[in-house]
Amino acid sequence: MPSEVVVSRGSVLEGVDPVVVAAVETPDGTNLVQGDLTGIAGSRIVYSIFDRNATAPATALATGTLDETVVIFDTMQTDGYWGLDDAGYNFRSSFPTASFPNGGGSYRIEIHGVTTAFNIVKWIAYVDVVEAMAV
Sheet of 19-22, strands arranged across:
19-22, 89-94, 72-77
Helix (H), strand (E) at residue 71:
helix 68-71
Spelled out in words, what is the top-level CATH class assigned to the domain 6-130?
A: mainly beta
Determine the pLDDT at residue 113. Answer: 92
Tell me how many helices (H) and strands (E) the chain has. 1, 8
Determine the pLDDT at residue 135. Answer: 54
pLDDT tens-place string over residues 44-74:
899 999 999 998 889 999 999 999 999 999 9
Determine the pLDDT at residue 2. Answer: 43
Cβ 111 vs Cβ 24: under 8 Å: no
Determine the pLDDT at residue 118. Answer: 86
Mean pLDDT of 6-16: 88
